[in-house]
């Protein structure tokens, strides 16, 4: 059973719909203890950093048990991926520090004014191609350079190259969009809103 | 690389889908949930939903309907219509929408976008600007095109540079439902005066018109109501979806 953490903000139904169409069971997790009955954990993310971290911290103890003692596969999505880092330029609260790195703003602000107006914009919004650099079960069966839906202005600046599975390019800059450390996964895009490619990825996750 | 987004826009009036022409009384075009299912199958890039009855009628946001829509939708969603407070915006996001669109609330109290951004993240905040051309100049209107805003278009864009948001939707009232083509001059003016993502709405003729818009202003949101709602010479209601280029997914 895939547990989807409900921390008040985030797109839970979209995940439930995708898993339903795959014939997989899901549970919306409202209280930390309920996580222990699950086999997989998804941390959605449509929110600002501090709002997200305040909620995540209520789940932190149980998450540590499930992810590090029970070795449950964990998938963080969008801000849910970013919270795996140590800090974020978007907020002041510390992250989970599960994957070495920090969350930074995409460097569009450094472009000269004219290019700033006529060139690429923030947030990074829409459909972009993802380039996979490392093999992982999460990305199996996907086409080459699959498209996914993105909506964010900050990115996970992972320090350890071993943790970077895939990248995407925006404003002439490549940044990690899939990270992994053992059973911990993070994706910057929204698989729950990425039609067939998202469905494949979520099915791969639920089969881990 | 990031590509343009091709976005069908649906208008809600009292729980039903409607399609207006130049913001005048619309015609019934179907049921929202049915439309969501059709656009799911078509794997649309995004969907814009605007409830045009809320602000004008001083009604409440139909959260029940929005919940139903979000439960059924597999694509990224934007909702606009009657969002006045941080609580309204948070609730819409928590129902499963990716973005909220603010219009009259921004022109009444511009600071509201900062407050909403800090709660839900600036990437999820869109400001929709309804523009009408009067004597060769562009003016902003709210309340279904009935209330003129004091700010000029350039003043509004300048103000939005200072307030973090994710996207500006530029909706041409003159072109709404007319199939005469996007207002390219308006699109270019906006493109050259903002650093924010822009989505252009109003007047879309066909796929070639969308391609022309991209040629004129680069990667952007290409939105259309009537083009994705009607088919054929007699404008039969048939939700449809096409893009300028075939993208391999």
- Here the CATH number for the domain that contains residue A194 is 3.40.50.880
Q: Give the pLDDT confidence score for residue B57 in this predicted structure.
A: 82
The dihedral through the CA atoms of B213, B217, B218, B221 has a sign that is negative
Contact check, Cβ <8 Å, A123/B197 = yes
Number of A–B residue contacts, CB under 8 Å: 124
* Residue B247 confidence (pLDDT) above 70: no
Triad A86, A136, A18: Cα angle to 5°: 85
**For B168, what's the count of Cα atoms within 13 Å in the CB-facing half-sphere?**
29
* Residue A81 confidence (pLDDT) above 60: yes
A66 labelled catalytic = no
Domain holding B65: CATH number?
Answer: 3.20.20.70
Interface test with A, best of B165, B169, B190, B195 (most A CBs within 10 A): B195
Q: Which residues of A touch B4 (CB under 8 A)?
A: 126
Assigned domain for B244 exists: no
Number of domains in chain B: 1
Q: Give the pLDDT confidence score for residue A46 in this predicted structure.
A: 65
Contact check, Cβ <8 Å, A190/B75 = no
Cα–Cα dist A14/B96, whole Å: 7
Instruction: Please compute the mean of the pLDDT values over residues B113-140 and round it to a whole number.
Output: 94
Q: How far is A41 from chain B (nearest CA, A)?
A: 19
Domain span at residue B123? 5-237
Q: How far is B234 from chain A (nearest CA, A)?
A: 32
Contact check, Cβ <8 Å, A193/B74 = yes
What is the reported pTM? 0.92
With a threshold of 0.85, tell me whether the complex ipTM lies above it.
Answer: yes
Cα–Cα dist B129/B67, whole Å: 25
Of A118-122, A156-160, B189-193, where does mean pLDDT reach its minimum?
Answer: A118-122
């Amino acid at each position: 059973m895939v547990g989807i953490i409900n921390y008040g903000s985030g797109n839970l139904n979209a995940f439930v719909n995708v898993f339903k169409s795959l014939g997989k069971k899901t549970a919306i997790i409202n209280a930390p203890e309920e996580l222990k009955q699950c086999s997989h954990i998804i941390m959605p993310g449509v929110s600002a950093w501090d709002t997200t971290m305040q909620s995540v911290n209520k789940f932190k103890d149980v998450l540590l048990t499930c992810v590090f003692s029970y070795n449950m596969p964990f998938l963080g999505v969008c801000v849910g991926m970013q919270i795996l880092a140590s800090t974020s330029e978007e907020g002041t609260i510390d992250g989970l520090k599960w994957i070495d790195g920090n969350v930074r703003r995409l460097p569009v602000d450094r472009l000269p004014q004219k290019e700033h107006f006529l060139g690429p914009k923030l947030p990074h919004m829409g459909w972009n191609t993802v380039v996979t650099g490392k093999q992982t079960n999460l990305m199996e069966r996907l086409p080459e350079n699959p498209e996914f839906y993105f909506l964010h202005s900050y990115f996970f600046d992972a320090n350890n190259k071993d943790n970077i599975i895939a990248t995407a390019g925006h404003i002439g800059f490549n940044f990690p969009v899939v990270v992994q450390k053992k059973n911990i996964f993070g994706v910057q895009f929204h698989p729950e809103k990425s039609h067939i490619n998202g469905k494949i990825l979520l099915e791969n996750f639920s089969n881990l | 690389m990031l590509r343009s987004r091709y976005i069908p826009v649906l208008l809600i009036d009292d729980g039903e889908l409607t399609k207006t022409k130049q913001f005048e009384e619309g015609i019934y075009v179907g049921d929202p949930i049915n439309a969501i299912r059709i656009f799911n199958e078509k794997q649309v890039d995004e969907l814009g939903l605007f409830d045009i009855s809320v602000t004008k009628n001083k009604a409440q946001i139909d959260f029940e309907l929005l919940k139903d829509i979000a439960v059924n939708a597999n694509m990224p969603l934007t909702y606009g219509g009657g969002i006045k407070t941080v609580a309204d915006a948070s609730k819409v996001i928590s129902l499963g929408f990716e973005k909220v669109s603010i219009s009259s609330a921004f022109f009444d109290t511009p600071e509201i976008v900062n407050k909403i951004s800090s709660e839900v993240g600036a990437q999820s905040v869109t400001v929709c600007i309804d523009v009408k051309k009067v004597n060769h100049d562009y003016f902003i209107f709210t309340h279904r095109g009935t209330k003129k805003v004091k700010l000029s278009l350039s003043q509004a864009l300048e103000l939005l540079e200072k307030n973090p948001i994710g996207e500006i939707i530029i909706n041409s009232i003159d072109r709404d439902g007319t199939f005469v083509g996007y207002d390219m001059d308006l699109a270019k003016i906006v493109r050259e005066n903002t650093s924010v993502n822009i989505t252009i709405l109003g007047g879309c003729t066909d796929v070639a018109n969308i391609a022309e818009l991209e040629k004129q202003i680069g990667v952007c949101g290409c939105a259309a109501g009537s083009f994705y709602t009607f088919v054929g010479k007699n404008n039969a209601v048939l939700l449809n979806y096409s893009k300028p280029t075939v993208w391999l997914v």
